[in-house]
Amino acid sequence: MDNDDAIAFIKEREEKLGGKILYRTYSTWYGRIGKEKREYGVFLYTDGKVFVYEDFERNPQILGIPIRTKKKEKYEKLEVSFPASSIREISRVTKRSAEVSLYNGKDLSKQASFIDKALCAVVTKVVLDNGDILFFELMDPKKFEESAERFRGNR
């Protein structure tokens, strides 16, 4: 995506939200217990009131070179939103325990210890008021936590 495409994309998302995007990031891996999982990640953004995450169709590649597959799964667009005020808890858990949670359909995630953070893949766990549990492998988890905390009180 070149710069003009990116600017147009952001503008389109702002029109859809009805306000300026105040924070945006990319999650390289994503999952929601009992729902969907994306190995290739999602785009996450907010206007300060609502967080939205969505994915994009992605064709298989090896080293950046597209590969053809005989059987291509049908792509279904993922676009989900939740109010910033509905965030009940944010924590860091091991990616492995998040994957186990997704596989088993219940929260079995393990809080990441100091050693885990140094040696293992760690993801951000977000618990919502409605009971949904989301996992994001974010580029800058600390910045996400700061932004979410700041926007939590917006109604």
What is the value of pTM for the model shown? 0.85
3-state secondary structure of 1: coil
CA distance 147 to 151: 6
Residue given tokens 């952001």 in the structure block: 10
By the 10 Å C-beta count (0-12 exposed, 13-18 middle, 19+ buried), 153 is classed as: exposed
CA distance 65 to 62: 5
Each residue's pLDDT, cut to its tens digit, for the chain (155 residues) gives 557 777 888 888 888 888 899 999 999 999 999 999 998 889 999 999 999 999 887 665 666 666 666 666 677 788 999 999 999 999 999 999 999 999 999 999 999 998 988 899 999 999 999 999 999 999 999 999 999 999 987 54
